[in-house]
Amino acid sequence: MNDSGVLHILKLIRNFLFGWMNREFLIFLFFLILSGAFWLLMALNETYEKEIEIPVQLVEIPKNVVLTSDTTTNVRVMVRDKGFSIIAYLYGNRIRPIRVGFKSYAKKTGTGVITSTELQKLIARQLFNSSNIVSLKPDKYEFFYNYGLKTRMPVKLVGKIVPGQSYYLSKILFAPDSVDVYASREMLDSIKHVNTEPLNISNLTDTVVRDVALYKIKGVKYVPEKVRISICPDILTEENCEVPIEAVNMPDGKILRTFPSRVTVTFTVGASIFRSITPDRFKVVVDYNELMANPSDKCNIYLRSVPHGVRNARLSVNKVDYLIEEQ
């Protein structure tokens, strides 16, 4: 396209923009923007209440001090002022973190408190003279510390783990399985283990690995603050084995024989540990004292103990024939 063609197109655009109808539109648009700006100025000149979040930072902490609470916390300040000031607080850089010196507020009891009055004074330094503080949440800043006093404590899972059908919870592994707990002597004496934040899992059919935070206690610090938990299910299988019957409470010079001498024990167990389950790890007994107290043609037999991990163990029969002999 040559230069004359471009000039022709520009001329058409200019004529369109400055045509009579378009001049009317531009005038309308100008007054619309003007009225919007006027409304905004009026609105910003009104008084508002707005909540502003301000960080409070604890600084100048000695190297030999272990802080057992957060070094930084946020306070929510309800401020009343004109819209212009509120906009400056929300979108400007006037509001900055409040820095609090450790030595100014630390007490020998291992705590420190900045009261509501002191907080309001520190916050007011950043506000315009026209601003008023309506409320403050929390109404104080409290911190806890010690000089390295700690105890190693085990971690305990809190929550509900529900295995899927035909599965059971085989094991729960923690990494690490214990953490360092920093707190006052009184707190350390009252804590026996460290709980996790609640963890709930349903229909568990495969190993689940989660990083879980430890349940926070006021004035207590954990190192580390999270642990990795491996929750391992196992599929259940039904098995059985032949277990010898053992006589207990037998007097000297007597022998009790049962017929049969062995009984079948049926049980459910995880597939991963089935091969470690042997008959000698079960105990089936007949009690001589019970026989003497309640003589009968048959004797009762009882399953007294089963290996760890075995569930729903039961005998194929509860009574057997017997014979008592003299040695």
Q: Helix or strand or coil: residue 314?
A: strand
State residue 14's pLDDT score: 62
Protein fold of 236-326: RNA Polymerase Alpha Subunit; Chain A, domain 2 (2.170.120)
Query: Does pLDDT of 112 surpass 60?
Result: yes
Q: Which two tokens stand for residue 43?
A: 């609105």
Single-letter code of the amino acid located at 217: I
Concatenate the DSSP letters of all residues of 116-157 into one string: HHHHHHHHHTTS-TT-EEEEEESS-EEEEEESS-EEEEEEE-
Which CATH class, in words, describes the domain spanning 150-235?
mainly beta
Q: How confident is the model at residue 8 (pLDDT cuts 50, 70, 90)?
A: low
Q: Which CATH code fits 47-146?
A: 2.170.120.30
State residue 193's pLDDT score: 95
Q: Is the bond preceding 244 in cis, omega lying within 30 degrees of 0? A: no
Q: Say how far apart CA 324 and CA 104 lie, in whole Å.
A: 87
Interior/surface letters 50-63, b for 16+ CB within 10 angstroms, e for the rest: bebebebebeebee
Q: Which two tokens stand for residue 212?
A: 């879980």
Total count of residues recorded for the chain: 327
Query: Does pLDDT of 150 surpass 60?
Result: yes
Angle at 245 between CA 239 and CA 247, to 5 degrees: 150
State residue 16's pLDDT score: 61
Q: How many CB atoms lie within 10 A of CB 257?
A: 12
Residues 29-64: tens digit of each pLDDT: 666 776 666 666 665 667 878 888 989 999 999 999
Query: Does pLDDT of 19 surpass 60?
Result: no
State residue 280's pLDDT score: 93
Task: Give the DSSP H/E element, type plus range, for residue 299.
Answer: strand 298-300
Q: Say how far apart CA 320 and CA 259 lie, in whole Å.
A: 6
Q: Helix or strand or coil: residue 15?
A: helix
* Start-to-end CA span in the chain (Å): 127
Q: How confident is the model at residue 139 (pLDDT cuts 50, 70, 90)?
A: confident
State residue 3's pLDDT score: 58
Task: Calculate the CA dihedral of residues 218, 221, 224, 227 and round it to 10 degrees.
Answer: -30
Q: Say how far apart CA 118 and CA 155 lie, in whole Å.
A: 39
Are 110 and 77 a contacting pair, CB within 8 Å? no
Query: Does pLDDT of 21 surpass 60?
Result: no
Q: Say how far apart CA 172 and CA 316 lie, in whole Å.
A: 33
Q: What is the CB-side half-sphere exposure of residue 43 using CA atoms within 13 A?
A: 7
- Mean pLDDT of all residues in 84-99: 83
* Phi/psi of residue 25, nearest 5 degrees: -65, -45
Instruction: Tell me which residue of 225, 67, 59 sits closest to 144, measured CA to CA.
Output: 67
**119, exposed or middle or buried, with CB in 10 Å at 0-12, 13-18, 19+?**
buried
State residue 73's pLDDT score: 86
CA-to-CA separations, 152 to 172, 173, 185, in angstroms, rounded? 20, 17, 13
Chain position carrying tokens 């079948």: 264
Residues 223-273: tens digit of each pLDDT: 999 999 999 999 999 999 999 999 999 998 889 999 999 999 999 999 888
- Mean pLDDT of all residues in 193-210: 94
Q: Say how far apart CA 314 and CA 167 lie, in whole Å.
A: 19
Q: Say how far apart CA 112 and CA 288 lie, in whole Å.
A: 70
- Mean pLDDT of all residues in 270-281: 90
Query: Does pLDDT of 130 surpass 90?
Result: no
Better-scored residue on pLDDT, 44 or 186? 186
